[in-house]
Chain A
Amino acid sequence: MKLTVEGLAFKYPSRHVLNDINFTLSKGEFLAILGVNGAGKSTLLKCINRVLKPHKGSVFINEDEVFRLSRRDLAKRIGYVAQRQESSRATVFDAVLLGRKPYIQWEATKKDMEIAQNAMKILKLEDYALRYLNELSGGEQQKVVIARALAQEPEILLLDEPTSSLDLKNQLEVAGIIKSVVKNQEMSAIVTMHDLNLALRFADKFMLVKNGTIFAAGGLEVITPENIESVYSVPVKIHEIDHVPIVVPL
């Protein structure tokens, strides 16, 4: 599997949000998209799976143009978790089973339910199967929607700030789960993040976005004090502790 984004651009009537975005992503890669609020990170995710319609550019999964796929076929290949969740009066199992929506013709099959169950297992939600979403904590809800995206059995996961509303323990747990899923299920993940250190610890590719364009992209080598200062306007130092780089604002 290879994701290719070519010349992607998006604008609202009054301003450009994304300009000329080009990158590729291979199977098993965990790409962290970094940048200040309003840099265009969320918009980029939404343009990749057509939640928003970009006004220029194209996205390919292997040879397939995303904009030529039906929504249903696209949903079988890209799972997406939005930044904010709406919690309805549904149980955890209901919510995760909804990830099978692109595959369900009339009714969920036994196989659909087993896949949903396993997705819950990966996120350690087994004991929550019949709990109602609106009675869960923020961290638990976040896990439910990630489980739903996994139940889609996608090739690519798009996660919009999946760890922002979580406590330290849940941040580490969720980021760890994403990393292991990407490796074990041979998916790729594109994750927008605010916590640089969390990104450095779990992601293997990085993209720094500034004013709707890619400022720098690549492996660990792009995370330099100079780049970070340019993107965030904050001077930083990078230390290494136990082989993990740590960004420390000065």
Chain B
Amino acid sequence: MKDGLATVDGLKQTDIYQRYTAKKKLAVILLGLLIAIVAVFAVNAGSTNLNPAQVMQTIFGKGSNISDIVVWQIRLPRILAAVIAGAGLSVAGCVMQNNLRNPLASPSTLGISNAAAFGANVAIIVFGAGSIQSTSADAVAINNPYVVTFSAFIWSMAAAFAILLLARFKGFSPEAMVLAGVALSSLFSAGTILIQYFAQDVQVAAVVFWTFGDLGRAAWNEVIILAVLTGASFIYFMFRRWDYNALDCGEETAKSLGVHVENIRLGGVFISSLITAVAVSFLGIIGFIGLVGPQIMRRVIGSDHRYLIPSSALMGALLLLVSDTLARTVISPVVLPVGVITSFFGAPLFLYLLARGYQKK
């Protein structure tokens, strides 16, 4: 009896459908190529003039001492950090938007960014991890970055756990989780303001500088940690892509299709929070990518998570890489805060896409 469903004449619709999905695969591949091209340009760009040939020589171990340092110690980690953090934040936003059933959800929705900022404030102001640096380039510096990173991470994970526990044991709906996130955000902002109110000028300067977000903070260690975490999370998300598609049809339907809705949601939100917490702790607050990366791709490629997850990751990587490259080159040698460029560059693009509506086919 059931074989009746599989044996029908003609494969017209499946052929048409496969052609349609092939286009999406192509879009993902093209986006990846675009990132590779921008990355090459980004390695070249900067105040030490190197041409592409010198860059390639250096990467293959035949560069001069200066180009070795510039490429290997400064530019490559920075570019990789942009690509990986951009991808991580964006894919985290993509999963949060799906899991929390809210188009406004992003890595900062659950109060994670504000909690990280609060953690940095605690470290710099309360524990004195920040101080004055006497160079003209930076008025302030953070003389114990590991304490700051650690504190930011601990507080952001505390925020995430608070919400996950409420969801797990008090049965919070996605809507309640988002509202709880807003409440926690406001709580951590208030805590931050209170700490800053009683701090010295230089400490406040140091912490404001931290919150700007700077990809230059990433050395190879940070890049590797981010890469392993983002890579592993990406694989987990891809394994769950059909579950996320089912969740788009509503919770009850997802359950009837065999999805463990609560477990999938707790897992997705936890891993997204972890990526965000690590990225923000290492690099400072980089807003907007997590909201706008997946939302751009939703409009371009549709909401099928088989393609939305990889393309959101790539779009986030591209946005952050382009933003950082602009930040380094627009008024070189001054490096602008990358978060500012992300919004200046991403917001108009996003507004344009919103105005244009969804792409047909």
Contact = CB atoms under 8 A, between A and B. Distances in A.
Q: A and B bound?
A: yes
Interface of A: 46, 49-51, 70-76, 78-82, 84-86, 88-91, 93-95, 97-99, 101-102, 104, 106-107, 110-111, 113-121, 126, 129-130, 132, 145, 150-153, 158, 184-186
B201 to A, nearest CB: 50
Given A82-B253, A85-B250, A130-B361, A185 B17 contact: no
B257 interface: yes
Contact of B257 (A75, A84, A118): A75
Instruction: Give the residue among A88, A95, A102, A106 with the most B Cβ atoms within 10 A.
Output: A88
| The 3 A-B residue pairs with the shortest CB-CB distance in the complex, in nearest-first order | A75-B258, A80-B256, A72-B258
A78 B256 contact: yes
A204 B6 CA distance: 28
Given A51-B252, A82-B252, A130-B20, A114 B11 contact: yes
A130 B12 CA distance: 12
Contacts of B245: 90, 94, 98, 101
21 contacts: A75-B256, A80-B252, A88-B249, A89-B298, A89-B358, A90-B303, A91-B17, A93-B13, A93-B17, A98-B245, A99-B257, A102-B258, A111-B6, A114-B7, A114-B8, A129-B17, A130-B17, A145-B253, A153-B5, A185-B4, A185-B5
B4 to A, nearest CB: 7
Contacts, number: 128
B222 interface: no
Given A86-B250, A89-B303, A102 B13 contact: no
B260 A129 contact: no
Nearest to A151: B5
A116 B7 CA distance: 11
B302 interface: yes
A139 to B, nearest CB: 18
A98 B13 CA distance: 15
B1 interface: yes
Given A98-B246, A102-B258, A130 B5 contact: no
Query: DSSP class of B's interface residues: helix, strand, loop or mixed?
Result: helix
Interface in B237-251: 239, 242-243, 245-246, 248-250
Contact of B255 (A50, A88, A89, A152): A50
Interface residues of B, number: 38
A4 to B, nearest CB: 20
B26 interface: no
Contacts of B255: 49-51, 71
B304 interface: yes
Interface string B1-41: 11011111001111011101000000000000000000000
Interface of B: 1-2, 4-8, 11-14, 16-18, 20, 239, 242-243, 245-246, 248-250, 252-253, 255-260, 298, 302-304, 306, 358, 361
A82 B17 CA distance: 26
Nearest to B101: A86
Contacts of B257: 75, 98-99, 101-102, 152
B173 to A, nearest CB: 15
A150 B6 CA distance: 12
B260 A71 contact: yes
Nearest to B2: A153
A107 to B, nearest CB: 8
Contacts of B8: 114, 117-118, 121
A151 to B, nearest CB: 8
A153 B255 CA distance: 16
A89 B13 CA distance: 19
A151 B302 CA distance: 22
Nearest to A131: B361
Contacts of A95: 249
Contacts of B256: 49, 51, 75, 78-80, 82, 158
B242 A114 contact: no
A85 B249 contact: yes
B298 A86 contact: no
Contact of B302 (A82, A90, A184): A90
Nearest to B302: A89
Contact of A80 (B20, B253, B259, B302): B253
A185 B6 CA distance: 12
A76 B257 CA distance: 8
Contacts of B259: 71, 101
A51 B302 CA distance: 28
B83 to A, nearest CB: 26
B14 A110 contact: yes
B28 to A, nearest CB: 15
A117 B361 CA distance: 19
Given A89-B303, A90-B302, A186-B1, A117 B242 contact: no
Given A101-B259, A118-B5, A130-B361, 5 more contacts: A46-B252, A89-B303, A91-B20, A101-B246, A111-B6
A95 B259 CA distance: 15
A140 B8 CA distance: 22
